[in-house]
Amino acid sequence: MRPTTAVERAERAMATGGSPTLEFQAEVPYDAYVHTEVLHNLQQPLSDDPGEMSFLMITQVMELYFKLVTFELRNARAALRDDEVGAALAPLRRTALHLEGLNGSWRGLRWMTPSDFNRFRDQLGEASGLQSSMYRHLEFLLGLKSVALLRPFRRQPKVHRELMRSFESSSVWDETIALLARRGHDVPLELLERDFSLEHEPHPAVEKAWVEVYRDDSTTNELRMLGEALTEVAEQFGDWRYQHVAAVRRSMGAKPGSGGSNGLAWLERSMARVVFPELWSARTHM
């Protein structure tokens, strides 16, 4: 692909009288950029049931959203680590919007009843969303850590190494807490120099810091803007988990999951793990 300039685009539009270019010397530029041929050859249903195509493609769309959200959260984490609150706000706000799009994906599966799912479910074998490595990256970045969920990937060395790196690294919330400390809030050293592979436990000092942050409601309060951006991310992620539970309840009830879990009950328990906990509990004291 060859980059173009605004001048070239204006000249081309003038030469064509405003009509789109329809002749190209090689591959259509759009296909070269988006790799549409690759994308549209990734759907390989295992059954003849037409409903499986919806299930498969929407699952693939969700995987792409997981990658996009993970990309944004990593950028936000890096900005927070560098004490650049303003630079962190844009990727966090984009994250919330991407999660909103991800949540909208569930609408494409609302047609699925248990009988619809059962027509192709056996063909999936042990395949389960529980085994999504990109979703694990997303959870680790949000601070939800569980060493047991690394086990499915032990025989995929590259995937396992990358997940271990995410698992052992600080989360967005860890970097937020460190930022609060650098901005003068009384955060204990034990929260700043801890083992990041362990899930963060809510702490009253962090809760108190957020109460203090929100006392200043001026439009120049960067930390308050950060709090609101994080709140939107947590809220949209909560919606994702709720809609996941609702989709499972709709399509299979309380049957065992394909990946060996007890399905609905396992998902409902996972919803109890709160993202950015002190940001929510602090609201009681504001």
Q: Domain spans of the chain? A: 52-120+130-285
Report yes or no: 231 and 225 within 8 Å, Cβ to Cβ: no
203 has binding-site annotation: no
- pLDDT-derived band at 234, boundaries 50, 70, 90: very high
Convert the pLDDT of each residue in 140-169 to its tens digit. 999 999 998 899 899 999 999 999 999 999
CATH code of domain 52-120+130-285: 1.20.58.480
Convert the pLDDT of each residue in 75-134 to its tens digit. 999 999 999 999 999 999 999 999 999 999 999 999 999 999 999 999 998 888 888 999
pTM beyond cutoff 0.85: yes
Return contacts of 132-138, CB within 8 angstroms, 24+ apart: 132/63, 132/66, 133/159, 133/162, 133/163, 134/63, 134/66, 134/67, 134/70, 135/66, 136/163, 136/166, 137/66, 137/70, 137/162, 137/163, 137/166, 138/66, 138/69, 138/70, 138/73
- pLDDT-derived band at 257, boundaries 50, 70, 90: low
160 has binding-site annotation: no
- pLDDT-derived band at 25, boundaries 50, 70, 90: confident
DSSP 143: T
Of 14-18, 57-61, 82-86, 233-237, give the lowest mean pLDDT range.
14-18
Which two tokens mark 206? 């962090």
Which pLDDT belongs to residue 16?
A: 87
| Higher-scoring residue by pLDDT: 2, 53 | 53
Cα 240 to its chain centre, rounded Å, is 9
Which pLDDT belongs to residue 248?
A: 87
